[in-house]
Structure 1
Amino acid sequence: MRGLICGPKQAACGVVLSLWGVIMLSMLGIFFITHSAVLIEDVPFSDSDIHEDSNPPQKLYALYDKVGYNCIIAAAFYLCLGAFSCCQMKLNKRKDYMVH
């Protein structure tokens, strides 16, 4: 069948993994954008970002936002992977229907 790249089990696995990726990365993105204090260890900042800034929290908040937007972008990629996997599942079902 044309366009069929992966089998039914691999497509189902892709759907499950992409669903988890979208949920997890979306939540992380939201928490980073809201500047959650728990995630401070995951923000890539140096001492100069804190000590040499005239308005200290703003540079750190910009880094939080940058990481949050990266998480949202990664969630969008997982969403595309999930859509691709769903299409592969439908193509596999159509192939099984046509064979039987």
Structure 2
Amino acid sequence: MGVCPLCGPKLSICCTIISIWGIIMLAILGAFFQIHSPALFEDIPKDEEVWKNKNYSMTYIHEKYEQTAVNCFIAAGIYVFFFFFSCCQQRMHARASYEMS
């Protein structure tokens, strides 16, 4: 008698695919934030007043780029956890269907 899976076989496959996409997308996005891509300037969480008080210093902007990159890498790590969870669910369903036949 094995452990009961928490989600169905189709949901576990869907979650696996979404997790793979999330890992790839957030890793690439984090890499582009890490290299301070100008295309992502509008996406960093900067406070205009604080930036103005710092005389529009680029070190403030670089700190915000790096903070956002770390956030992307953390989110990618969370997707890795869900990827392994979904894969375990798939294996449980495969094992259960093998034992039934």
Spell out the pairing of 1:1-100 with structure 2 (5 A cutoff). 1-53=2-54, 56-100=57-101
For residues 47 and 38 of structure 2, what CA distance do their matches in structure 1 show?
16
Q: Is the 8 A contact 1:49 1:60 kept in 2?
A: no
Determine what percentage of the aligned residue pairs are the same residue.
35
Structure 2 residues without counterparts, runs of 5 or longer: none
Stretch moving more, 44-53 or 10-19:
44-53
Q: Is the 8 A contact 1:29 1:68 kept in 2?
A: yes
TM-score relative to the length of structure 2: 0.93
- Whichever residue aligns with residue 21 of structure 2, its letter is W
Q: How many residues align?
A: 100
TM-superposed deviation, 1:47: 2.2
Computed over aligned residues only, the root mean square deviation of the Cα atoms, in angstroms, reads 1.3
Q: Is the 8 A contact 1:32 1:39 kept in 2?
A: yes
For residues 99 and 48 of structure 2, what CA distance do their matches in structure 1 show?
64
